[in-house]
Structure 1
Amino acid sequence: MLVLPAEVTQSQAETCLALLRTAARASREGEIVIDAAPLERFDSSALAVLLECRRDCLADGKRFAVAGMPPRLAELAALYGVANLLATQAPEPAPTPD
């Protein structure tokens, strides 16, 4: 699972996209899941980063999903009409102590 940083705004978008692209291309997994739960500060650039990652993954023959999308980001995706492109995946539950 790839993880977004706490902040993705226009000033961080290019660097964030480059890091995610590199990691996604290096992955041998058939599905790339990006964990968006750490996002605290973001603008529409975060959606642009996710959509570009999705485009790259699909071009590489990989499935793409976003886990832990913050509600505000989901609302923004719906507002822009791209929510259906960012398939969401429920976050994995934390392991319970035995």
Structure 2
Amino acid sequence: MLVLPAELTHAQAPACVRMLADALRAEPGPLAVADASELSSFDSSALAVLLECRREALALGKGFAVQRLPARLRDLASLYGVAELLPAAP
């Protein structure tokens, strides 16, 4: 499971991408799941981080899903037209 931090803004995004990419490469199984339940303070950079994780997962031949995406971030993803790229985890 890839766990997003409580705060994910432009300032934290580069380090978060590196951390999640490392965790993703170590994650066994065909599906990478990002857990956004702790995410409470964020900007659109959180979407960029999730989309980068999705890209990395697909490059590794894995599926990608997100669990507990905050409603505000889901709304932002819809606004930007990328919500379908961040499916809810089963």
TM-score range, shorter chain: over 0.9
Give the total of aligned pairs: 90
RMSD: 0.8
Counterpart residue identity of residue 76, structure 1:
L
- In 2: Cα distance, 1:12 partner to 1:50 partner: 13
Q: Percent identity?
A: 58
Per-residue deviation, 1:26: 1.1
Structure 2: stretches of 5+ with no match in the other structure = none
Structure 1: stretches of 5+ with no match in the other structure = 91-98
TM-score (normalizing by structure 1): 0.89
Per-residue deviation, 1:30: 1.0
The runs of 4+ residues in structure 1 deviating greater than 3 Å are none
- In 2: Cα distance, 1:63 partner to 1:18 partner: 19
TM-score (normalizing by structure 2): 0.97
Please name the residue that 1:62 is paired with.
Answer: 62
Q: Which has the larger radius of gyration?
A: 1
